[in-house]
Amino acid sequence: MALHVPPTPVNTSKAASSKVDYIVVQKQARLLSLWKDGRVLRTYSVMAMGENPVGHKVYEGDERTPEGQYYIDEKHVSQNFQKFLGISYPNQQDSLLAKRFGVSPGGQVGIHGDRGGMSGFFQRYDRNWTDGCLAIRNKDIEEVYSLVEVGTPILIKP
At residue 13, the pLDDT reads 43
Kindly report the pTM of this predicted structure: 0.82
- Tell me the C-alpha to C-alpha distance, in Å, between residue 45 and each of 51, 60, 90, 97: 17, 25, 24, 30
Q: Is the pLDDT of residue 96 over 60?
A: yes
Question: What's the whole-number mean pLDDT along residues 34-48?
Answer: 96
Number of Cβ within a 10 Å radius of residue 127: 13
Question: What's the whole-number mean pLDDT along residues 54-81?
Answer: 92
Which residue spans within 8-96 are E strands per DSSP? Answer: 22-26, 31-36, 39-45, 68-78, 82-87
- Domains, the chain: 12-157 (2.40.440.10)
- Nearest-angstrom CA–CA distance, 89 and 11: 32
Question: Higher model confidence: residue 29 or residue 80?
Answer: 29
Which parts of 3-117 fold into alpha helices (H)? 12-15, 92-101
Strand 22-26, strand 153-157: pairing:
parallel
Name the average pLDDT for the chain.
Answer: 86
Of 33, 27, 31, nearest to 55 (Cα)? 27
Question: What's the whole-number mean pLDDT along residues 77-86?
Answer: 87
Question: What's the whole-number mean pLDDT along residues 86-98?
Answer: 96
The model's pLDDT over 126-137, given as tens digits with 9 standing for 90+, comes to 578 888 999 999
Which parts of 7-152 fold into alpha helices (H)? 12-15, 92-101, 118-124, 138-147
At residue 38, the pLDDT reads 96
